[in-house]
Structure 1
C-alpha cells in the first residue's frame, strides 16, 4: 500500500518541490545550513507553509538538496582509494573535497552535522557520508603504507584543513576565488612523508567538529 509520500506529486506540487530544492541548494551554498525556511520560501517564490508541507523538518530538505553532492563525495573517496598511486589518490581526494567546499558553504557543515530525523532520504545521505569517511580512513592508511604520507598525519587533520580553507574562501571569494588552491597545495606538501618534524597530538574530534561548524556560520 502506498503512503502519501510515495504517491506521484501533481504537476504544480512537483514544480514547487523542485523550486524549493533549487532555492535551498543556492541558499545553503551561500550561507550554510542554517538559512531560515522563510528565506528559502522567498527564493523559491512559494509560501513558507508550502516549504514545511513538502519538507516537514530541516533534515529532509538538506537530504533533498545534497543527495547528489554527497554521492559525489563518496564517489571521490572510492576513486581515490582505487588510484594506482596511493599518494596521488590521497592528494586528489583532498583537492576534490576542498573544491566542493569552495563552491558550497553548506558542504563542510554536511560532513559534521548530526541527523535526528529518520526517513529514507536522510538515511541514504548518512550512508553515503559514512561510506566516504570509511574510505578516507583507508586512503590515509594506504598513503602511509606506501611511505608517502607522514606517519603522524591524523585523519581528523582534514577537518582542520577544511576550517582553514573556509577562512581563505570567505576572505578571498570576491577578489581571488581560486586562492584556496594555493593554500591547499602548501598543506599537501606539509603532509608529505619527507617532512619529519613531529606534530602535536590532534584535538579531540568532537571539538574539531564544533569548531568547523562555527566557521561555516554566516
Structure 2
C-alpha cells in the first residue's frame, strides 16, 4: 500500500506571526518614546519627532498611529488611570486631611515631571473627545477626596473641585520657570497653598523647599 503523501507545509503562518510581533514591538517603542518626548517638551512636537526618538521610520509611526492625537490618547490614558488610583488611595487613608495632602502631592509630582500631562489634563482647549472624557472621569475622584476632608472639618468648605486644576496650573507655572534652576521649587509653594486650604490650622506647615537666592531668582524669572 502506498503511503499517503504528507501534507504540504504552510510556512506563511510563521512570517505572519512575526510581522504582528514586530508591529506590536514598534507600537510599544513609539509609545515609550512619546512618553519621554511629551514629558520633556510638551505636546508641541510632531509624530516625525517621536519616530526619530523611537528609532523607527516615519512611515512605521504613521502605520501604528494615524496622527499625533491618536498617540496622545494612547500615552495619557495610563496617566489618567494613575491619577485616579492616587485618589482611590487617598480615600483609604485613615486621616482625611493626610489623604487629601497625599493626593495633592502625588498629582503635583506627576504634573511637575510631565509637561505633556500637565497640558493635556489642565488645558481645556486641548484634546480629542477621548481626552476630554478622561478629564471628566477625574472630577468625581477629586470631588470625593475633597469632600471627605471637608466633612472631617479639615479642609475649607468653600473649596470646589474646579479649584484643583487651577491650583495645579499655578504650580505648573512655577515648574516651567524654575525647571533648570530648582526643579522641585513647586513643593515650597504647595506647602503655602495647603496652609491656605486647611480649615483647622494651629501652626504653619513646614515649607518643602528653601527659598531661591538672588541669582537663582534672576535665572528663574528670565
TM-score (norm. length: structure 2) = 0.73
Partners of 1:115 and 1:72 lie apart in 2 by: 19
Partners of 1:45 and 1:21 lie apart in 2 by: 12
Partners of 2:191 and 2:61 lie apart in 1 by: 41
Whether the 8 Å CA contact 1:41–1:47 is kept in 2: the answer is: yes
Matched, 1:115 2:128: yes
Instruction: Structure 2: give runs of 5+ residues left out of the alignment.
Output: 1-16, 202-222
Match of 1:182 in 2: 188
**Greater RCO between the two (CA within 8 Å, min separation 6)?**
1
Partners of 1:83 and 1:132 lie apart in 2 by: 19
Whether the 8 Å CA contact 1:33–1:106 is kept in 2: the answer is: yes
Match of 2:214 in 1: none
Offset of residue 129 of structure 1: 4.7
Larger Rg: 2
Match of 1:36 in 2: 46
Q: Secondary structure at the match of 1:46?
A: coil
Partners of 2:168 and 2:87 lie apart in 1 by: 16
Match of 1:215 in 2: none
Match of 1:170 among 176, 180, 186: 176
Q: 1:88 to 1:9 in 2, by over 3 A?
A: farther
Whether the 8 Å CA contact 1:78–1:132 is kept in 2: the answer is: no
Instruction: Structure 1: give runs of 5+ residues left out of the alignment.
Output: 1-6, 117-121, 196-218
Count of residue pairs the alignment pairs up = 182
Offset of residue 146 of structure 1: 1.0
TM-score (norm. length: structure 1) = 0.75
Match of 2:142 among 120, 127, 136: 136
Q: 1:126 to 1:82 in 2, by over 3 A?
A: farther
